[in-house]
Amino acid sequence: MNIPVELDPSIDDQAARAAWLYYVGGLTQDQIAAEMGVSRQRAQRLVSRAVAAGLIHVRLNHHLASCQELETALRTRFHLVRCRVMPGLGPDRDPVRAIAPAAAAELERVLREPEALVIALGTGRAMRGMVEAVGSIEAPQHCLVSLIGNIAPDGSASYFDVIMRLAEKVHAPHYPMPVPVISDTAEENATFQSLGPIRKVRELARAANVTFVGVGQMSDDAPLLTDGFLKPAELREVQGAGAVGEVAGRIFDAEGRYLDLAINRRLGGMQAPPTRPDRPVIGIAAGPSKIPAIAAALRSGILNGLVTDEATARGVLAL
Amino acid sequence: MNIPVELDPSIDDQAARAAWLYYVGGLTQDQIAAEMGVSRQRAQRLVSRAVAAGLIHVRLNHHLASCQELETALRTRFHLVRCRVMPGLGPDRDPVRAIAPAAAAELERVLREPEALVIALGTGRAMRGMVEAVGSIEAPQHCLVSLIGNIAPDGSASYFDVIMRLAEKVHAPHYPMPVPVISDTAEENATFQSLGPIRKVRELARAANVTFVGVGQMSDDAPLLTDGFLKPAELREVQGAGAVGEVAGRIFDAEGRYLDLAINRRLGGMQAPPTRPDRPVIGIAAGPSKIPAIAAALRSGILNGLVTDEATARGVLAL
DNA sequence: TCGCCTTGTGGGCAAATATTCATTTGGAAC
DNA sequence: GTTCCAAATGAATATTTGCCCACAAGGCGA
């Protein structure tokens, strides 16, 4: 007979319990305070801590008619195998917030497949948001592989760190790409790419059953620029060459054709695998400035799956 | 180019959008009102409607240490194949509210299995709560079968109607048991049971891959009494015979041995199938008065899976 | 030991939210 | 066309929540 008694529950336990009572039980914070024997303020802090720590997940269980129509329109127009359009959150809010839960649901759907799959992942804010929104789920049968180098220009080894965080959550084997996202010289990059272990990772990624990637715009607010992978002069140069977007660091033009650029030879990681109906490559992206990039990637079939928000979906369809 | 425009979104669409903006977007109801062009009160009403209609799902993404310990204790003590213990919501709240989301998650896990399964279901408040909490999920490959007659003493054909509601949600073929829960005479019951279609349903249920049932207590607040299936005198009689609980209407004693009672011959439906490690029979039940019933059912192996709340788990382990 | 800083706590208050109630609106029955 | 009812609305109000601040406890270096 081993009946556990509550001695010193961790702060997260307390927070989770408070949030549970608040959101699921519908108690007021006063009642929670009484129930848990703490002050009301502490109850309030516990609830907000649980929310901040992502212990609580809210999901919409209803397909808005307007979003469904957009999904259908995108699906048929671009021959998508997966498509999710979420309601927007208003013009001046981070659209990642809107699409992260849906992207996470999409990823969870894949993770729940019983047979072993290779899941390739890009990086970026949307990817990170997606992984953060993934719930606790065990998926040790799958294999997670990164498309993109994880060494940032400043030498730090964790550009968003999408693979690691996800692997930690689902306890799956994972293969980060331990090369610079972008090397200083083509030679340095070639050296990295020729290393045996890295070739292995590349082979694995090439055979990915499902791929999740962000989509970067190449306008003046390009993530490649913001994150320091391109210098302003380089950005202007590729803009001149017709660049409108980028997936896994590979830059393409308005028709979604990959461009043959000098910087390509310095790029680590690898291009997203080619799309096939049974090998979806799903873009997770939203925001007005990304519209041309998303449209281009869909047009040429770099992507055959998309999770986005309402406003972006409309924008893409209007192009 | 077919860009949908928002003309007259349904009330549920509006509610879902408002709730989305509120919970996911973190807007205040004032902002939502402005965004959607309605009054603040209306925004408030939309949000609460969405919550009431279950359009929004909140789930806790954290296993409380104390609950995990209880799960482990129950699992080893009673050789359970599935076990979930949720935090309670305080003594004077409906415990169904606490366990329904977890039970629904358990059911969804089964529904997501790709190969076709036979899923047997009991009835009761906990079952209904579970089904209500199930999200939108397609599972047409499975087959839902009821263990219990669906004709109530007053002749109405929907004693909680668990099967129908679930089938409607997941679009699975379903086999209600179109017999009285309890007939007036043994002969009437025998007549019903001998009908061909009903025998088919019984056979199906016997081979169920997974079974979900409620657990009824046989104290003075027995659900069988409350719902009018037993008369007070009958209840006292079976109490005298040692009845402590009931699963799918079949009454058992404190050791979980089914009792041979006169009313058995009038019971429609069928007993829960025997437990096997690969054929879980999962009890969904919580509440102080159910503790002896749950303990008995676990002890004799009527159940080999359980979803309950903290307080009940402690009570069961303390027996 | 003393200050100093970090971290957590409770009180109070303004903002946000829920509820109540009187009123209007839309529609069905007559 | 009228009447009646039920549902929806907006205003008023009560409750709840989020936030700021002042303060206390505890670690840490001087």
CA angle B150, B151, B155 (to 5 degrees): 155
Give the CATH number for residue A30.
Answer: 1.10.10.10
What's the farthest any 2 CA atoms get from each other in chain A?
A: 74
Q: Is residue A6 part of a domain?
A: no
Q: Is residue B105 part of a domain?
A: yes
On the 0-12 / 13-18 / 19+ scale of CB atoms within 10 A, A74 is buried
For residues A275 and B140, give the distance between their C-alpha atoms in angstroms, rounded to a whole number: 28
pLDDT digits (tens, 9 = 90+) for B162-217: 898 899 889 999 988 888 888 888 888 888 888 878 888 888 999 999 999 999 99
> Tokens representing A101?
């839960």
Name the nearest CA neighbour of A227 among A182, A290, A191: A182
Confidence class for position A161, pLDDT limits 50, 70, 90: confident
pLDDT of residue A71: 96
Q: Are strands A118-121 and A210-213 parallel, antiparallel or unpaired?
A: parallel
SS3 B107: helix
Strand order in the sheet with A143-151: A82-86, A305-309, A281-284, A210-213, A118-121, A143-151, A174-180
How far off is chain A from B102, nearest CA to CA, in Å? 11
Separation between the CA of B56 and the C1’ of D9 (whole angstroms)? 25
Range of the domain at A130: 65-318
- The answer to whether residues A32 and A85 belong to one domain is no
Which nucleotides in chain C lie closer than 7 A to a protein CB?
9-12, 15-20
The CB density around residue B285, as the number of other CB atoms within 10 Å, is 31
Q: Is the CB of A56 less than 8 angstroms away from the CB of B61?
A: yes
Which nucleotides in chain D lie closer than 7 A to a protein CB?
8-12, 15-20
The count of C-alpha atoms lying within 13 angstroms of the C-alpha of A5, restricted to the half-sphere facing its C-beta, is 3
pLDDT of residue B157: 56
Cβ atoms of B76 and A7 within 8 Å: the answer is no
For residues B82 and B306, give the distance between their C-alpha atoms in angstroms, rounded to a whole number: 6
- The answer to whether residues A98 and A43 belong to one domain is no
- The answer to whether residues B162 and B23 belong to one domain is no
C-alpha torsion B140→B142→B148→B151, nearest 10: 20
Q: Is residue A3 part of a domain?
A: no
Q: How far is the CA of A208 from the CAs of A106, A205, A267, in angstroms? A: 16, 5, 20
Q: Is residue A164 part of a domain?
A: yes
pLDDT at B65 over 70: yes
pLDDT digits (tens, 9 = 90+) for A2-48: 434 434 567 888 888 888 989 888 888 888 888 888 888 888 988 88
Mean pLDDT of A141-162: 79
The larger pLDDT score, comparing residue A285 to residue B178, is at: A285
Chain A 25-64 residues in 7 Å CB range of strand C:
38-39, 41-42, 45
Q: Is residue B185 part of a domain?
A: yes
pLDDT of residue A1: 44
Look up tokens 């609460």; give the residue.
B48
Q: Per DSSP, which regions of chain A are E strands?
A: 56-60, 82-86, 118-121, 143-151, 174-180, 210-213, 216-217, 243-247, 250-253, 281-284, 305-309
Instruction: Report the chain B residue with the minimal C-alpha distance to residue A137.
Output: B61
For residues A293 and A275, give the distance between their C-alpha atoms in angstroms, rounded to a whole number: 17
pLDDT at B319 over 90: no
How far off is chain B from A21, nearest CA to CA, in Å? 6
Element (H, E) at B251: strand B250-253
pLDDT of residue A37: 84
Separation between the CA of A28 and the C1’ of D14 (whole angstroms)? 15
Whether nucleic acid strand C comes within 7 Å of the CB of B252, the answer is no
Whether nucleic acid strand C comes within 7 Å of the CB of B39, the answer is no
- The answer to whether residues A286 and A138 belong to one domain is yes
For residues B304 and B74, give the distance between their C-alpha atoms in angstroms, rounded to a whole number: 10
Element (H, E) at B110: helix B95-111
How far off is chain A from B82, nearest CA to CA, in Å? 15
Q: Is residue A234 part of a domain?
A: yes
- The answer to whether residues A41 and A174 belong to one domain is no
Mean pLDDT of A253-266: 91
* % of chain A with per-residue pLDDT over 90: 52
Cβ atoms of B142 and B119 within 8 Å: the answer is yes
Mean pLDDT of A192-197: 81
For residues B150 and B4, give the distance between their C-alpha atoms in angstroms, rounded to a whole number: 44
- The answer to whether residues B155 and B290 belong to one domain is yes
The amino acid at A113: E
Look up tokens 């041979």; give the residue.
B260
- The answer to whether residues A209 and A135 belong to one domain is yes
User: How many domains does the structure of chain A reveal?
Assistant: 2
Q: Is residue B109 part of a domain?
A: yes
Q: How far is the CA of B9 from the CAs of A65, A273, B21, B53, B211, in angstroms? A: 7, 39, 16, 17, 39
DSSP A176-217: EEEEESB-SSHHHHHHHHHSHHHHHHHHHHHT-SEEEE--EE
Residues in chain A: 319
- The answer to whether residues A234 and A180 belong to one domain is yes
- The answer to whether residues B97 and B23 belong to one domain is no
Chain A environment of B20 (Cβ under 8 Å): 60, 86-87, 89
Confidence class for position B153, pLDDT limits 50, 70, 90: low
Separation between the CA of A14 and the C1’ of D24 (whole angstroms)? 23
- The answer to whether residues A132 and A252 belong to one domain is yes
Cβ atoms of A56 and B58 within 8 Å: the answer is yes
For residues A148 and A150, give the distance between their C-alpha atoms in angstroms, rounded to a whole number: 6
- The answer to whether residues A48 and A71 belong to one domain is no
Q: How far is the CA of A311 from the CAs of A88, A187, A300, in angstroms? A: 6, 43, 22
- The answer to whether residues A167 and A40 belong to one domain is no
pLDDT of residue B197: 82
Chain A environment of B1 (Cβ under 8 Å): 317-318
DSSP B10-21: -HHHHHHHHHII
Average confidence score pLDDT of chain A:
89
Q: Poorest-confidence range of A160-174, A236-250, B145-159?
A: B145-159
pLDDT at B6 over 60: no
Contacts with B284 (C-beta within 8 Å, 6 or more apart), sequence order: B99, B103, B126, B127, B130, B212, B213, B214, B215, B307, B308
Cβ atoms of B244 and B257 within 8 Å: the answer is no
Mean pLDDT of B117-138: 91
For residues B95 and B76, give the distance between their C-alpha atoms in angstroms, rounded to a whole number: 24
Q: Is residue B4 part of a domain?
A: no
Give the CATH number for residue A171.
Answer: 3.40.50.1360
